[in-house]
Amino acid sequence: MSTPTAREKTDWDIPHYAGDHHEELSFIRKYVFSTDHKVIAVQFLVMSLVFLALGGFLALLMRWQLGFPGQPLPGGTLLPETMAPGGIILPEFYNSLVTMHGTFMIFFAIMPLLVGVFGNLLIPLQIGAPDMAFPKLNMASFWMAVPAGLIMLASFWVEGGAAGAGWTAYAPLSASGDFTGVYLGQQLWLLSLFILGFSSIAGAVNYITTVINMRAPGLTWFRLPLTVWALFITAVLVLLAMPILAGALIMLLTDQTIGTTFFLPEHGGEPLLWQHLFWFFGHPEVYILILPAFGIVSELLSNGARKAIFGYHAMVLAIAAIAFLGWIVWGHHMFMSGMNPMLGTTFMVTTLAIAVPSAIKVFNWLGTLWKGNIHFHVPFLHAAAFVALFIIGGLSGIFMASAPVDIHIHDTYFIVAHLHYVLFGGSLFAIFGGIIYWFPKMFGRMMNPFWGHVHFVGTFVFYNLVFFPMHGLGLEGMMRRLYDPTQYAWLADLQPWNVFITWAVFGLLAVQVVFFVNFVASIWTGRKAEANPWQANSLEWSVPSPPPHGNFEAMPIVYRGAYEYSPPDRKEDFILQNEPPRDPVGDRVEPEPQPTGGLEGSE
């Protein structure tokens, strides 16, 4: 420690390692308004699993209407008259379902699961830090996300119902309640996302500062686990994309409420401006929802195969390339919007270019498995399924990247299939795998592997039964967000497929119950976990499960990268990043423990 005095004197709270003195905390400070990143991760986990279940329930209602349009929903009479009189879902409620399913899944389930849970849990643990750079800001980040979610949820019960203009909220449909009958619901939607934006930006500032400043000695950029790389780059995307959304939300909100005219064309407003702003945020957002999953999957594949990740540097560069390209492709969401066709060509080229880093990632994952010694533990299975399904989602993306082909499939179920292959088959499989893998670091126990297998197989099968046929529906021209497809003669013939998908959704959701029960039961009854149950390399496995407040007894010192599986000079097929190297000569070199800038005062 160079200047411990400077460290004491800064008037910002600095996290301490576990070996330092810790005051006893009250229950509230420990579990509710906690500043411990691991507790906050668990809080995010609970919150987003609840919203995940809610999003699934909304999807089920939607699928019922699509499979059996106009028929009363079993038990649907429990819903209020304004949503489903006599159990029959109303068109305006259906539009709310479409909107809120997307909104909850993207903003309150997948995004907090990936960024909130894994970002909070893994960043400090994997870089050898005692906590985040700004623990109180971290706490504030979570406690802003909760009211945002509750406001969103409450909007179902206000007059006019919840927002019904799609999760993309295209103006002018969303800009005036006169078009939808939804006034307050749309405003609450905007307000909720605005608050969530603050939460996300606060998290991003924390992650970026922590990764830059608080890595343990010896943990250079290219020794970081890919999870940290992915989360770091994701945080940069969140930091730069969310404020764009915030700006757009404000303009839409004032159009809705006080009568400004940003997106309303009668007084010179531009409906397409909303689309440009929304997708300039929205496409980076798409990568926010997948990059952390890339990191998690790399970790799980390498661990399962007992082999170093193939092409580590290429993997990092591919993540960075995807993140960069993500800023210049937003126009592909607007191929059919009537923007200048020249722009269409430009966006087509940039979009196609994204296939390249995506392909690099897939090939490197395959290379990781090559000549490995694969342990099929449950997290690995999820990662392998991720690769299999991401290939499908990636390849289907090429169809719509080609602007002329997109003419036919734009806004059809082909898009719905594609985005679910990436977001569910991709992100959610990685999330399930990640939760099971790092469960011991959150709760000190293991999840039940038998029920883990049951859930995995069931999800994989039903998932494909639900979403694969949607490609076909899209190619036949079935549009998205359609309350009753049988109204169109050419879609009425496809109804058997819609019925089939609806039944498959029942199966898919039933299997998720297995996961939820396994999750909750394992918290109390799971097998107690040792420090390193998966025999992995990164720093979080060098401390007890769960790690104590402050994580590490003292600042760890890192000697190698995170993927040194099966090193030739060792009996075990793994080696912790902070295990001191055996010294062949005998004069061991003590590392100079240089703390990172973050623990010092000013220069």
Instruction: Look up residue 72 and give its DSSP letter.
Output: P
42 binds other proteins (CB under 8 A): no
600 binds other proteins (CB under 8 A): yes
- Give the contact letters, 297-326, x = binds to other proteins (CB under 8 A), - = no: --------xxxx-xxxxx------------
CB nearer to other proteins: give 78 or 489: 489
CB nearer to other proteins: give 387 or 419: 387
Continuous H helices in 2-90: 4-9, 27, 37-67
Interface with other proteins (CB under 8 A), residue from 102, 471, 537, 551 = 471
268 binds other proteins (CB under 8 A): yes
Task: Quote the CA–CA distance of 223 and 484 in Å, as a whole number.
Answer: 53
Instruction: Look up residue 582 and give its DSSP letter.
Output: P
List C-alpha distances in Å: 520 to 378, 445, 460, 526: 17, 11, 21, 9
Binding segment (CB under 8 A) for other proteins, from list 23-31, 52-60, 290-298, 336-344: 336-344
Query: Do 411 and 494 form a contact (C-beta atoms < 8 A)?
Result: no
> Strand pairing partners for 445?
528
Contact positions with other proteins (CB under 8 A) in 517-556: none
4 binds other proteins (CB under 8 A): no
CB nearer to other proteins: give 394 or 547: 394
Buried b (16+ CB within 10 A) or exposed e, 397-417: bebbbebeebeebbebbbbbb
Contact positions with other proteins (CB under 8 A) in 221-240: 221, 239-240
Size of the site for other proteins (CB under 8 A): 167
Interface with other proteins (CB under 8 A), residue from 89, 109, 204, 228 = 204
Task: Quote the CA–CA distance of 301 and 374 in Å, as a whole number.
Answer: 9
> Phi first, then psi: what are they for 497, rounded to 5°?
-65, -40
Q: Which residues contact 450 (CB under 8 A, 6 or more apart)?
A: none
Binding segment (CB under 8 A) for other proteins, from list 286-294, 388-396, 459-467, 531-539: 388-396
Show the beta-strand stretches assigned E in 124-172: none
72 binds other proteins (CB under 8 A): no
Interface with other proteins (CB under 8 A), residue from 451, 468, 503, 506 = 468
Q: Name the residue among 235, 241, 242, 246 with its Cα closest to residue 206.
A: 235
Q: Cβ of residue 177: shortest distance to other proteins, in angstroms?
A: 11
Contact positions with other proteins (CB under 8 A) in 353-382: 353, 355-356, 359-360, 362-364, 366-367, 369-376
Q: Which residues contact 150 (CB under 8 A, 6 or more apart)?
A: none
Q: Cβ of residue 159: shortest distance to other proteins, in angstroms?
A: 16
Interface with other proteins (CB under 8 A), residue from 19, 265, 493, 513 = 265
Q: Which residues contact 277 (CB under 8 A, 6 or more apart)?
A: 244, 245, 247, 248, 251
Q: Which residues contact 59 (CB under 8 A, 6 or more apart)?
A: 101, 505, 509
Interface with other proteins (CB under 8 A), residue from 122, 559, 562, 578 = 559
Q: Cβ of residue 600: shortest distance to other proteins, in angstroms?
A: 6
Interface with other proteins (CB under 8 A), residue from 60, 87, 337, 499 = 337
Interface with other proteins (CB under 8 A), residue from 29, 30, 453, 560 = 560
Neighbours of 86 (CB within 10 A): 10
77 binds other proteins (CB under 8 A): no
CB nearer to other proteins: give 46 or 336: 336
Interface with other proteins (CB under 8 A), residue from 484, 507, 531, 535 = 484
Interface with other proteins (CB under 8 A), residue from 62, 79, 125, 133 = 133
Helices 429-443 and 495-525 cross at an angle (nearest 10°) of 10
Interface with other proteins (CB under 8 A), residue from 290, 384, 423, 555 = 384
Interface with other proteins (CB under 8 A), residue from 151, 405, 499, 521 = 405
* Three-state SS sequence of 301-344: HHHHHCCCCCCHHHHHHHHHHHHHHHHHCHHHHHCCCCCCHHHH
CB nearer to other proteins: give 5 or 26: 5
84 binds other proteins (CB under 8 A): no
71 binds other proteins (CB under 8 A): no
